Amino acid sequence: MKKQPRTALEKIDRLGEKVKGMTQAELARAVGCSRERIRQLLPRMKVKPGGRVRRSADWNR
């Protein structure tokens, strides 16, 4: 039987490159922790969340 990752950081590492396309909030939901915990873990992460910006049609007005 495989050992499940225990910590949020281990779970984030298992997601790999998928993390780049996620916001901190999406990553927190995927891992099962808070956005604040993700913010605390940022310096220790190998791959950082992208924090993409969603632009509306009125962005340049």
Q: How many domains does the chain have?
A: 1
pTM: 0.74
In this prediction, residue 13 carries a pLDDT of 92
In a domain, 61, yes or no: no
Q: Which domain holds residue 16?
A: 8-44
Q: Which two tokens stand for residue 15?
A: 């997601």
In a domain, 58, yes or no: no
Q: What is the mean pLDDT of each run of 10 residues along the chain (61 residues)?
A: 80 92 93 94 91 63 58
In this prediction, residue 28 carries a pLDDT of 95
In a domain, 60, yes or no: no
Please give the C-alpha separations between residue 8 and each of 3, 22, 52, in angstroms, as whole numbers.
15, 15, 21
In this prediction, residue 6 carries a pLDDT of 82
In this prediction, residue 50 carries a pLDDT of 85
In this prediction, residue 35 carries a pLDDT of 94
In a domain, 23, yes or no: yes
In this prediction, residue 42 carries a pLDDT of 93
